[in-house]
Amino acid sequence: MQRKPRIFVVGSFVMDVIATTERVPPSGQTVYGKEFHMAPGGKGANQALQCARLGADVTMMGCVGDDLFGEMLLETPRAAGVDVSRVVVHKGVTSGVGHVTLEVTEHTAQNRIVVIPGANRTLTVDEVAWVKDEIGTYDMVLLQLEVPLEVNRAVASWAKEAGVPVMLNPAPATELDDELLSLVTYLTPNEQEASMETHLPLGTDEQGLKKDDLQKIAAALWSKGVENVIITLGGSGSAVVEADRIRYIPCVRMPHVADPTAAGDSFVGALSVGLSVGLSQEQALAFASHTAAITVSRMGAMPSLPTLEEVLTLMRERRYQGFDLSLLDVLK
């Protein structure tokens, strides 16, 4: 590819309100926290921003409320070069909010998140219909599940007709309809999402996730029309499930985990960029793993998402040799 890839993202904007504590209280108990802060996020906006910070040409479509959070949520993507001119502002509706409790110990950080969708759930097919005639100009369409299903279904259908690959990050976990799955080029569930979407168990043995379970889940998704199944495994990396084998891409470890919020979004955004510039799946997944590793080492959602130069620096420091890093020069 001789130009920067163009990526179209349809998804959510969510303001994260984050309380950090050393211990999450049980029901009926109060504990003192350590810190409180706010950070813009939302799965769609996070992924769009990550794509932009890695050098892609990104257009983001979504919906915010006519409130202070709505104004704040657009500032960071806009500053990074994301085209948010088509984002809809709905009057009398609150912007999306994520209530994040971050439990931080000496070596790890775990989050618990409650999302109030707000304006994200009010986006309509008519408000997105403008892209139908333009969607063929994009190299990738990126979707999640924090906007109405009928919006995702319509956009994926237009992309399929135009021959544009569709990546669906099926989060938050829910059961998906077969029509949407039939339009998906790349599906990127985590373990829980993969199991929920197929109603199949995903157990573990002494070697990790059971390969037979992974193959059965992938086969169920292939039967519905999904072309590529990539399962993210948190600290264990990711797995590409193919008919005759499973390829594991290891997690890139960092000395300190500050906050796992947006790590999955960072991974998916980087994967989309990598595939769009022509990297193989394995190469793009390695690029995504290095990107997400930086994200977990920082606090917040959008504030933690790294730039291309930061990712390249980490890959050089870790002496990654899976592909010539000059393949990413088109992003600069």
The catalytic position among 133, 177, 265, 329 is: 265
Q: Is 265 a catalytic residue?
A: yes
Encoded tokens for 122? 């009010």
In one-letter notation, the amino acid at residue 129 is A
Under a CB-based contact definition with an 8 Å cutoff, are residues 13 and 26 in contact? no
Under a CB-based contact definition with an 8 Å cutoff, are residues 158 and 133 in contact? no
H-state helical runs in 7-145: 43-53, 68-79, 125-128
Query: How many other CB atoms are there within 10 angstroms of residue 309's CB atom?
Result: 13
> What's the rounded Cα separation, in Å, for the pair 89 and 311?
34
* Chain-centre distance for alpha carbon 206: 29
DSSP assignment of 67-88 equals SHHHHHHHHHHHHTT-B-TT-E
List Cβ<8 Å contacts ≥24 apart for 126-135: 127/63, 127/88, 128/10, 128/61, 128/154, 128/155, 129/154, 130/86, 131/8, 131/61, 131/86, 131/155, 131/158, 132/158, 135/8, 135/159, 135/162, 135/164
**Residues acting as catalytic residues:** 265
